[in-house]
Amino acid sequence: MQQYPKIPKLSAINQDVVELLYSNVFNGLLITLLSVSAITFGFDSGEAQQTKQNIWLVILVFTLIRAMDAAYWHSKLKNTRYSPEAPFYRFFVGSIFTAILWAVFGISFFDSMTTLEFASTMIIMSAMAGGAATVLAPNMVLVLTYATIMLIPMSLRAIYDYRDEYNMLGFLGILFWISMCGAASRANLFIRRAIEIKHKNDELVELMVKEQNEVTRINKQLLDTNHQLDLANNSLEKEVLRRTKEIHRLSNRDPLTGLMNRTAFMQHFEWMIEQACQGNKRLAILFIDLDGFKQINDSFGHQAGDAVLASVAEQLKQYCESDCAGRWGGDEFVLVLPYADEETALAIGQAARGSITSLQHIADNDVTIGATIGIAIYPKHSKDAATLVQLADLTMYYNKRTKPGVVGVFSESIYDQLNEELRLRDGLRHAIDRHEFHVVYQPIIDAKTQKIWAVEALARWQFNEEWISPGVFIPLAEKSGMIQDIGSWVLNRACIDTAQWPDDSLAVSVNVSVLQLLNENFIRQVDQAIGSSGLAPHRLHLEVTESIFADDMAILTDRITALKARHINIAIDDFGTGFSSLSLLQALDFDLLKIDRTFVQQITDGNDTIVRATLLMAKEFGCRTVAEGIETPQQAAILKAMGVDCLQGYLFAKPLEKNALLKWYTDQH
């Protein structure tokens, strides 16, 4: 049976436990309120809806009471010495009562729930129990009780239900509860160990101070009784020793945070690897980069930024042994964890990240700070200190770019992905000069006449005899800033090819990214493309996705207004997949709505509500509609009968090179 470490100074430890519990309470309360609101108002329970709303109101009131208690703790008790029992029991009772309310909520409306509502409720309650395995882990009784109340009643009720799918969800709930108990036990042990280390360090500091005082007293007695020469010699030796220590401190310590600087850390890290090698032990290196630090510097100044760095350093000291933390440079820190495997390193990394995130008020400023952490393990990933730091840094960089604010362990796949991205990024820089880009055109068919009405221009990239998917190189071009040149090239190529088309009524549709629209030179680039190609402006359609209007709305609206003034048509692509409001659509002067292929593929199953709503809006706004992704005659017939103006998809033609498109056009006519 696993033994928990003995923990001294119980009252002080409990205060640390209370601080850990209250540090994330507001996020938990907000998630609770949003989750129960989603279940309450997202699903109609018929006659039981009023009762559901009454229970929701009880949960709301109780959540507000807990929020007031948390606010009281943060404003009155945090950063002070206090008796932790009362706050702990308030938090304990509040958490357990919240879990009971959830259990009552789920059991009370179980019979009236649809399968989707029950599954959603189970997922939300499981997610909250899973979050509790970490957030409530400082107290084992609390986290086990909370998870049990959240999961067991609903799971047992589902197991004894007559429906197979409910039985399955019930068994999954029981399995998830078992998993959460194990995870909570491990997290509790890690947190207890971290607290023990912190308090042991405090005791060592106190002991060191007492010993220093004793040494000072004895030295003073000796100095008083020694001869003048001995006194002078002792003074000289002390001065030499003091200066030696000061020189050592200045050369090995970061003056702002007091942590080891990069040079000292690497020397100590290499020594630790030697010790680990002799003892056949593991250790982990954590590379930590702060999220949001630049905004703090820009908003509050470097003095506030320095205060944040010092506060972060103090937080990090709690999660490692003495001289195992260092400041790598700027807003980057490193921690080395002796004897740690991946699981331990991830747990401590999560705790450290949570501690950094909890810093909200520093130097009289309200700040928002986070951290992204990369981890490398000795000897699994490397036996060389510099390589381990590099791999942890590489992992942090990958996570920072793909999913900031997470803690991740190095893997070969990360290394391969970054290498592949670097290869493609380098290729993109020269793709236009090397004539590797091609433009293909997919016909858009008039539903009534069955003749070609327009074509959509699509970029294709052949790199080292390999066709790279647009889903890969377009996001990469946007992140690297090369989308401006690529988008301008595609626009010019499409205008030139369309201007040379034998039928001067054919229009061309070109996709435009939000980065292009935000570029102050975009309108001038469009004017140059139209002017140099001789294409009539009304034959150019620019496609934008509705999600772009979540960016700088004022600039984007001005750009679209300028394009409309030139008689260029504006199409909203992938309509229905974004979050545009009707008032926003009404304010924009667009000409075309393109119905996303997702809704077209569902239409044969009778799921035509969104398509019909889109057609109704298009009619009200006075614009045409195009349905994308049509693959079967049945889809085409249904959409035509519903009143869609134009059709596009593999049923009619795949994207074609210019000459192949001309042959297809000739064959069709």
For the ranges 110-124, 179-193, 237-251, 398-412, the lowest mean pLDDT is seen at 237-251
Identity of residue 58: V
Q: Is 114 helix (H, G, I), strand (E, B) or coil?
A: coil
Q: How many other CB atoms are found less than 10 A from the CB of residue 449?
A: 8
End-to-end CA distance of the chain: 82
What's the alpha-carbon Rg for the chain, to the nearest Å? 33
- For the stretch 115-122, contacts whose Cβ atoms lie closer than 8 Å and that sit 24 or more positions apart, written own/partner, are 115/163, 115/165, 115/166, 116/43, 117/39, 117/42, 117/43, 117/45, 118/158, 118/166, 118/169, 119/169, 120/38, 120/39, 120/42, 120/43, 121/39, 121/154, 122/154, 122/155, 122/158, 122/169, 122/172, 122/173
Q: For residue range 407-445, list pLDDT tens digits in order.
A: 999 888 887 887 888 888 888 888 888 999 999 999 999
Q: Compute the average pLDDT of residues 446-463.
A: 93
Q: How many other CB atoms are found less than 10 A from the CB of residue 425?
A: 15
Burial of 610 (0-12, 13-18, 19+ CB in 10 A): middle
pLDDT of 96: 85
Q: Report residue 546 as tokens.
A: 């509705």
**Among all chains, which residue has been given the structure tokens 């920072």?**
400
Q: Is 460 helix (H, G, I), strand (E, B) or coil?
A: strand
Is the pLDDT at 19 greater than 60? The verdict is yes
Residue 149 and residue 100 in contact, taking contact as beta carbons nearer than 8 Å: yes
Give the model's confidence band at 236: pLDDT under 50 very low, under 70 low, under 90 confident, else very high. Answer: low
HEC readout, 65-99: HHHHHHHHHHHHHCCCCCCCHHHHHHHHHHHHHHH
Give the model's confidence band at 485: pLDDT under 50 very low, under 70 low, under 90 confident, else very high. Answer: very high
For 481, residues 6+ apart whose C-beta sits below 8 A from its C-beta are 515
Residues linked to residue 459 through DSSP beta bridges, in sequence order = 439
HEC readout, 371-411: EEEEEEEECCCCCCHHHHHHHHHHHHHHHHHHCCCCEEECC
Residue 344 and residue 190 in contact, taking contact as beta carbons nearer than 8 Å: yes
Whole-Å CA distances, 538 to 197, 489, 499, 508, 528: 72, 20, 12, 10, 15
Q: How many other CB atoms are found less than 10 A from the CB of residue 616?
A: 11
Give the model's confidence band at 335: pLDDT under 50 very low, under 70 low, under 90 confident, else very high. Answer: very high
Q: Compute the average pLDDT of residues 111-121.
A: 78
3-state helix, strand, coil in the chain (%, to 5): 65, 15, 20
Whole-Å CA distances, 533 to 491, 498, 529, 536, 546: 10, 9, 6, 9, 29
Q: Report residue 663 as tokens.
A: 């042959």
What does DSSP assign to residue 656?
Answer: B
Q: Report residue 244 as tokens.
A: 């030696």
Give the model's confidence band at 539: pLDDT under 50 very low, under 70 low, under 90 confident, else very high. Answer: very high
Identity of residue 490: V
Give the model's confidence band at 250: pLDDT under 50 very low, under 70 low, under 90 confident, else very high. Answer: low
Q: For residue range 37-78, list pLDDT tens digits in order.
A: 777 777 776 776 777 778 888 888 888 887 787 777 777 777
pLDDT of 498: 94
**What are the start-end ranges of the E strands in 576-628?**
592-595, 624-627
Burial of 536 (0-12, 13-18, 19+ CB in 10 A): middle
Give the model's confidence band at 345: pLDDT under 50 very low, under 70 low, under 90 confident, else very high. Answer: very high
Is the pLDDT at 190 greater than 50? The verdict is yes
Mean residue pLDDT across the chain = 83
Q: For residue range 383-402, list pLDDT tens digits in order.
A: 999 989 989 998 998 888 88
Residue 407 and residue 375 in contact, taking contact as beta carbons nearer than 8 Å: yes
Is the pLDDT at 375 greater than 60? The verdict is yes
Tell me how far apart the alpha carbons of residues 95 and 504 are, in angstroms, rounded to a whole number: 70
Percent above pLDDT 90 for the chain: 32
Element (H, E) at 640: helix 633-642
Is the pLDDT at 200 greater than 80? The verdict is no
Q: Report residue 378 as tokens.
A: 């000795």
Q: Report residue 454 as tokens.
A: 């327009």
Model confidence, pTM? 0.51
Give the model's confidence band at 5: pLDDT under 50 very low, under 70 low, under 90 confident, else very high. Answer: very low
Percent above pLDDT 70 for the chain: 90
Element (H, E) at 158: helix 140-159
pLDDT of 33: 78
Q: Compute the average pLDDT of residues 477-495.
A: 90
What does DSSP assign to residue 551?
Answer: S
Residue 542 backbone dihedrals phi, psi, to 5 degrees: -105, 120
Q: Compute the average pLDDT of residues 622-651.
A: 93
For the ranges 86-95, 526-535, 610-619, 659-668, the lowest mean pLDDT is seen at 86-95
Closest CA to 218 of 229, 237, 234: 234
pLDDT of 239: 58
Tell me how far apart the alpha carbons of residues 342 and 411 are, in angstroms, rounded to a whole number: 11
Is the pLDDT at 361 greater than 70? The verdict is yes
Give ∠ CA 328-256-192 in degrees, rounded to 5.
70
Is the pLDDT at 569 greater than 80? The verdict is yes
Is the pLDDT at 601 greater than 50? The verdict is yes
Give the model's confidence band at 372: pLDDT under 50 very low, under 70 low, under 90 confident, else very high. Answer: very high
Helices (runs of H) and strands (runs of E) counted in the chain: 24, 16
pLDDT of 653: 93
Residue 312 and residue 290 in contact, taking contact as beta carbons nearer than 8 Å: yes
Is the pLDDT at 292 greater than 80? The verdict is yes
For 106, residues 6+ apart whose C-beta sits below 8 A from its C-beta are 121, 125, 153, 154, 157
pLDDT of 414: 83
**Cis check: omega of the bond before 379, within 30 degrees of 0:** yes
Tell me how far apart the alpha carbons of residues 439 and 657 are, in angstroms, rounded to a whole number: 7
pLDDT of 59: 82
pLDDT of 30: 80
Is the pLDDT at 511 greater than 80? The verdict is yes
pLDDT of 6: 41
Give the model's confidence band at 582: pLDDT under 50 very low, under 70 low, under 90 confident, else very high. Answer: low
Identity of residue 130: G
Q: Is 328 helix (H, G, I), strand (E, B) or coil?
A: strand
Instruction: Report CA torsion sign: 399, 402, 404, 405.
Output: negative
pLDDT of 578: 52
Residue 256 and residue 306 in contact, taking contact as beta carbons nearer than 8 Å: yes
Is the pLDDT at 228 greater than 80? The verdict is no
Give the pairing type, strands 540-545 and 507-511. Answer: parallel
- For the stretch 89-93, contacts whose Cβ atoms lie closer than 8 Å and that sit 24 or more positions apart, written own/partner, are 91/18, 91/21, 91/22, 91/25, 91/142, 92/139, 92/142
Between residues 372 and 609, the one the model is more confident about = 372
